Structure 1
């Protein structure tokens, strides 16, 4: 039996949101999302329904409207405070009003208020946004419709006044979701995958460039909906020119044509095959209470923190000799393994691994700002480029402060970020990587953390691209004003987007007119470039998608500038953002969408009841709990009492007082946890220290073998290796060719086993195998072929010597 404590509303009244319908339209790598939210007041008094929900952090919200009975009301964008006042005045006058605003602290959180909904009355809300789809390591384009909104920890002293969020366990979300997608591209759609069950992909034409797909029936809106879209020959540079809005003034962003250029740099193979052998690798690991949650719904036994421990093992084994490294972990406080980054050696690697094995989700809240400040305060090591890897489930309330800090230190490092589990903030994860010149990855659904992290390590080992410049070659009297921030990072196979406003008039023969954009850069000391020629003829049927994405890009850049110069320039920058947001109809942190139904023909009387629509909360996402109260979900630990002022809240301040919301907590005893879920009790005085260490399940064979590798890249010939290979020590010793060194023999056996039995996980062990092969070549072993033949005979396989990199 489930306790409904604070589940729906303070008085356990019904939730007015009944369903959400989402239509996704994907054109190449751009997505348009149209959501219809249906509300119904099932009570006997008028309601105000407040829904705080997540959206992709880089989304450009461009339309908000309401359908009430037979009237369609389209919202307009206004400065935020004016919009709030208009909304509150409408409610005070008995009118219906609708407000949509973005959080001041995190651009991936929105609040929708549906005011004065009379008893028995329904309303249909339409919300539309556009967004670019991120390229994954396997060349898929990732779309995520966030459903899970875990309450975000906001440290004491952080900026912004906020409101609390109502969350419920994911399985108890009281409204349904229907989801359909239509995909079209210049290239064939090869497949569409999802963490949620899908109906079969339906192609709409013979060349397979258009297709539709739907979520399978019965899906509850209890987890993020993730789609991975794969095209044939995906890495094709493109440029789309979109005509300006006919009603807009020429010379403005909305009145002029805008071009969106998509480039995929290709680096020489010689550079990619010689990864860097230096660098300072700093790993920052979240150890807040929410890291004890299952990493996905399917594998309850694997928690986020246990997966993170395995990932750190692979990372430490894959680092090159001669580099430096350190591991930080954080919650309400932070720790580090070494006082300063240590040189990578057998001793420092083993010391770090001992600490990693003891890592628990026991550090409380999610205060990422302080460890970042400490890391950035450490002097950089000469000739050792700093590479920062940040792992978090992303449940923080001071997102903009964190991103501002990364931006201010972008010249001293590259930042690679990883969002773990449902509900990770896309604004935080993408923002840190973008501002830090790195790459972002999300681990959700059935994803494994290790292959995605190792892909980013390969990026980090690529030499930094320097001296990046963009030049345009356009017809006479046509000029380009770049709207995107300067490109600061390029990686092999990863897309770079550029938006530019095209000013001036094209000639009468513009149908044949062409433009050219060139990106020049220096790679490993060698000059290189990528170039794209494109037609200046505007594409058809694009609506204003490119303009809105360009406006969103420029708005985000201006907001970043406002964060950097809070004292000197904030008023001027805020004015620019508000003006651009109003002109383009795209949301910002300083504006809001407001709609008022002035022609309802009736004044709504009586006290207005507030109903907070709950969002899904995956597991127990809260890093701290109130004394004497228990989180509703199982599977996570709580770490100490709630400190005064440590409230889970969002940067949205209402001008009129509202009733307090309730969080998903109860003060009554809970039933025992279901099988397989943990319910850790308090630490008792005098409890043996071993009870503090995480239970170590039997290691999977791959990790068992990897854990035995030495920092130099070799393996030792011992009983542990024999066991990992599934053999006895006697069998391994007896099969060794006579004159061969024991470490050489052991290392060749390990490489053969990896190539024969673990090719499906090659992304995880490829770097450490490369290190092992380099070690073998340095030994000048003369019996390589004999060893490979003997190893194949022992292990019962047929791996070729060339495949081992020898």
Structure 2
């Protein structure tokens, strides 16, 4: 029997689940968003019940607010306590008949909300608030807001158990999955930007956008135009605003703790020379990749392969429950190796079973080259449980190779595990990009390849204060205060109090940079760093960022915004980064020179996370929100019976069909026959006769807009060295000293260059650029004469313009919608 939606079976009987509605209110200010999730529960059963509900949060988000409203009459606000203590209070409140509400972290991106003792007929509204920094989209001046709504099934099993979950009330492996959810999502987003909002779009959902609110071009409101279930797929919003990429530094003053926190952000644009590299493409072919994600992954791989420089080494590794590689070791990029790789990309299917990421990465690390830098591209949906072990593996090998190993992640699909792809990219000193099933990925993929081919920037340093307190000589070695649990007079259970840190470990710092180790800076990728200053410490008027590259020193001065913000949002984002550092063992405690070669205990790390959680009101691995609604005697008598649990089911995508998506004409395997080429040339000659003025005046090309399929068709025509064989033209007189074969290769290459420049550059310059540069490099090498190069390219561009005009006419007469 198939059960749908808000149902739960008790003793063969279908019972309703009390989650009635989910609403989301989001406020976006430049590159920060504050989001409130509102969940309405109503008990329509005769018994008192307890509802357990899981929901996803973007892994960089900081949950900072939790409250419950009961029957629209009273509110209780959650406070942050150590997770074990919060769970204990919740259990006791339930047993005593009071209302209790608990928010716990199951993982970095999944939280569980427990709503206890909902009396028959009672309505409880839970509000959860979090703040998050926003990603830079692949286009300039754009930010990307993601609202995760789908908890994808994870391959393997949860690491939590009754003995390892630190006393939490978690049920990580018993969530009921269904194919439908009967409650709907209400969404309202308000954008307030520093500069004019130029465009708003959603690649995931249909939206209604109201621009120029109250005549202000910097404010917009967005709502959904369709009724969707809350667990359908992630909601994505892309906002374009003027000057959003410019370097900026803000300072926020938190009056509660009387500290300043600085946020430094920019989207850098710089150029460095490339270096000879090894590139390994690790492609997820597990069942969860299904049809569309697998198709996206294969297209990404083909574009990457065609854009590689001639002097690199590369390999392709497929994985699922098992893995295999195209080559035993990475091979030099050649016509033969490229042909094998393209054939693999065109025949990929998601038929490798489960998702075992650890083993394939371990093999890649062990078999990487030692004589050049290695860049790994992990293309996956990331649906695994053992993220911590994978991150530890990546960190270990990245440190061993000492900046000669980087890992970049490409998250594919509508329900990617942000935790995995973000974490491994962070540990591998790369970065991550996400592509849904309905999004273009070409610009993101090419941008990532360009950055991977450039040597890493090193020796980062940011000057936050007049005196560099990050490297202060006189260090305060005062141990952190650790809260001790209360011991009951009526319980002889052994309690494990947190042990104080060793007295010789430096734990107190006046300037807390977050993250402590400055993340790598890549061209076109948003860079954000925070710094919390101790009370009475003032920031510099100008924040200075320095680094060293292979091509020389780098420096940027960013004036601090003169307006001091008031509040706690930036502080909380910084604290979330500090907690992330502690979890990743990259914090100042782990990495400060004064603590080199010293053992950092788990209890010390836990103590710092708990302190951060309590200070900044954040849910974390070791802290939870707890709220209780103490009831009077009459209400207690109604709720004395131990409540029955109801687990709200999560939506799961159907993986029933893994049919091949390659049985129709594949764009990337398209080939042009010599007959077709000769036909095009013949038409071109006729066209020139009809338009004698074309060669003597500026040709204004009006053509049907190209789409990305045009690019894939065109790339499919290229041989390894970018020639279009069997192509002849009248310029042989310019190259009379060369053989027929050499002339053919030169002419076909120049046509490729002209086509990319004239037809594709307007819409797909970033995607084409590396193929264009490679073709141009080969062309110049073949000619070796600047004057002849110029003449031939001009003739090629003229031919392409005329050909476009001809094809546009032809398409117009036949009703076709594209040039190729």
> What interval of TM-score do these two structures reach, taking the shorter chain for normalisation?
0.7 to 0.9
1:413 and 2:405 are equivalent in the alignment:
yes
Other-structure match for 1:186: 194
Other-structure match for 1:583: 615
Other-structure match for 1:530: 556
Shift of 1:488: 3.5
Residues 656-686 of structure 1, C-alpha deviation per residue, up to 9 Å, x if partnerless? xxxxxxxxxxxxxxxxxxxxxx4x9xxxxxx
Larger Rg: 2
- The 1-side partners of 2:46 and 2:438 are apart by 44
Shift of 1:281: 0.5
SS at match of 2:8: coil
Other-structure match for 2:435: 443
Residues 551-576 of structure 1, C-alpha deviation per residue, up to 9 Å, x if partnerless? 11111111112999999511111111
- The 1-side partners of 2:468 and 2:789 are apart by 68
Mapping of 1:153-172 within 5 angstroms? Answer: 153-154=155-156, 163-164=172-173, 166=175, 168=177, 172=180
Moved more, 83-92 or 128-137: 83-92
Other-structure match for 1:175: 183
> Which residue among 748, 753, 756 is the counterpart of 2:755?
753
> Which residue among 321, 325, 329 is the counterpart of 2:318?
329
> Which residue among 606, 618, 624 is the counterpart of 2:653?
618
1:773 and 2:803 are equivalent in the alignment:
no
How has the CA–CA distance of structure 1 residues 399 and 124 changed in structure 2, closer, same or farther, with 3 Å as cutoff?
same
Other-structure match for 2:112: 111
> Is this contact kept in 1: 2:28–2:192, CA < 8 A?
yes
SS at match of 1:518: strand
- What is the aligned length? 685
How has the CA–CA distance of structure 1 residues 790 and 193 changed in structure 2, closer, same or farther, with 3 Å as cutoff?
closer
- The 2-side partners of 1:402 and 1:476 are apart by 35
Other-structure match for 2:497: none
SS at match of 1:441: strand
> Which residue among 305, 311, 336 is the counterpart of 2:294?
305
Residues 584-637 of structure 1, C-alpha deviation per residue, up to 9 Å, x if partnerless? 1111111211112123542203352222212333343xxxxxxxxxxxxx4x43
> Which residue among 255, 259, 268 is the counterpart of 1:256?
259
How has the CA–CA distance of structure 1 residues 745 and 593 changed in structure 2, closer, same or farther, with 3 Å as cutoff?
same
> Is this contact kept in 1: 2:79–2:626, CA < 8 A?
yes
1:357 and 2:346 are equivalent in the alignment:
yes
Mapping of 1:213-362 within 5 angstroms? Answer: 213-221=222-230, 222-246=232-256, 248=257, 255-268=258-271, 271=272, 274=273, 276-293=274-291, 303-362=292-351
Other-structure match for 2:533: 502
SS at match of 2:609: helix
Shift of 1:118: 1.4
- The 1-side partners of 2:282 and 2:252 are apart by 42
- The 1-side partners of 2:4 and 2:323 are apart by 33
- The 2-side partners of 1:445 and 1:554 are apart by 33
> Which residue among 591, 600, 604 is the counterpart of 1:572?
604
How has the CA–CA distance of structure 1 residues 380 and 476 changed in structure 2, closer, same or farther, with 3 Å as cutoff?
closer
> Which residue among 166, 178, 201 is the counterpart of 2:210?
201
1:490 and 2:521 are equivalent in the alignment:
yes
> Is this contact kept in 1: 2:247–2:265, CA < 8 A?
yes
Mapping of 1:3-18 within 5 angstroms? Answer: 3-4=2-3, 8-10=7-9, 11-18=13-20
Shift of 1:146: 0.8
SS at match of 2:51: strand
Other-structure match for 2:34: 32
> Is this contact kept in 1: 2:754–2:793, CA < 8 A?
no
How has the CA–CA distance of structure 1 residues 598 and 694 changed in structure 2, closer, same or farther, with 3 Å as cutoff?
same
SS at match of 2:254: coil
Other-structure match for 2:569: 545
Residues 436-472 of structure 1, C-alpha deviation per residue, up to 9 Å, x if partnerless? 2222111115202333211211221233212212223
> Is this contact kept in 1: 2:55–2:151, CA < 8 A?
yes
Other-structure match for 2:87: 84
SS at match of 1:312: helix
Shift of 1:372: 1.3
- The 2-side partners of 1:585 and 1:566 are apart by 30
Shift of 1:549: 0.9
How has the CA–CA distance of structure 1 residues 404 and 793 changed in structure 2, closer, same or farther, with 3 Å as cutoff?
same
- The 2-side partners of 1:408 and 1:451 are apart by 31
Other-structure match for 2:387: 399
- The 2-side partners of 1:504 and 1:790 are apart by 67
1:99 and 2:102 are equivalent in the alignment:
yes
Normalising by structure 1, we get a TM-score of: 0.79
> Is this contact kept in 2: 1:474–1:516, CA < 8 A?
no
How has the CA–CA distance of structure 1 residues 420 and 7 changed in structure 2, closer, same or farther, with 3 Å as cutoff?
farther
Moved more, 231-240 or 564-573: 564-573
Other-structure match for 1:128: 129
Q: Flag the structure with more relative contact order, 1 or 2, with Cα contacts below 8 A and sequence separation at least 6.
A: 1
> Is this contact kept in 1: 2:315–2:331, CA < 8 A?
yes
- The 2-side partners of 1:605 and 1:750 are apart by 78
Shift of 1:492: 1.9
Shift of 1:278: 1.2
Other-structure match for 1:725: none
SS at match of 2:149: coil
Other-structure match for 2:65: 63
Normalising by structure 2, we get a TM-score of: 0.78
> Is this contact kept in 2: 1:748–1:787, CA < 8 A?
yes
- The 1-side partners of 2:613 and 2:516 are apart by 18
- The 2-side partners of 1:456 and 1:43 are apart by 54
How has the CA–CA distance of structure 1 residues 329 and 694 changed in structure 2, closer, same or farther, with 3 Å as cutoff?
same
Shift of 1:750: 2.5
> Is this contact kept in 2: 1:63–1:129, CA < 8 A?
yes
> Is this contact kept in 1: 2:157–2:173, CA < 8 A?
no
Shift of 1:504: 5.1
- The 2-side partners of 1:514 and 1:753 are apart by 51
- The 2-side partners of 1:566 and 1:119 are apart by 56
> Is this contact kept in 2: 1:288–1:363, CA < 8 A?
yes
How has the CA–CA distance of structure 1 residues 277 and 748 changed in structure 2, closer, same or farther, with 3 Å as cutoff?
farther
Shift of 1:514: 5.3
Moved more, 206-215 or 20-29: 206-215
How has the CA–CA distance of structure 1 residues 484 and 562 changed in structure 2, closer, same or farther, with 3 Å as cutoff?
closer
Other-structure match for 1:50: 52
> Unaligned stretches of 5+ in structure 2?
166-170, 471-509, 591-596, 668-708, 736-742, 806-820
> Is this contact kept in 1: 2:6–2:19, CA < 8 A?
no
- The 2-side partners of 1:240 and 1:596 are apart by 37
- The 1-side partners of 2:793 and 2:132 are apart by 54
- The 2-side partners of 1:189 and 1:207 are apart by 10
Shift of 1:532: 1.3
Residues 497-537 of structure 1, C-alpha deviation per residue, up to 9 Å, x if partnerless? 2211223537xxx9xx9522211112233111011121566
SS at match of 1:112: strand
> Is this contact kept in 1: 2:68–2:124, CA < 8 A?
yes
Residues 102-137 of structure 1, C-alpha deviation per residue, up to 9 Å, x if partnerless? 12xx30111111111111111000000000001122
Q: Per residue, is there more helix in 1 or in 2? A: 2
- The 1-side partners of 2:148 and 2:468 are apart by 46
Shift of 1:786: 4.0
Other-structure match for 2:464: 472
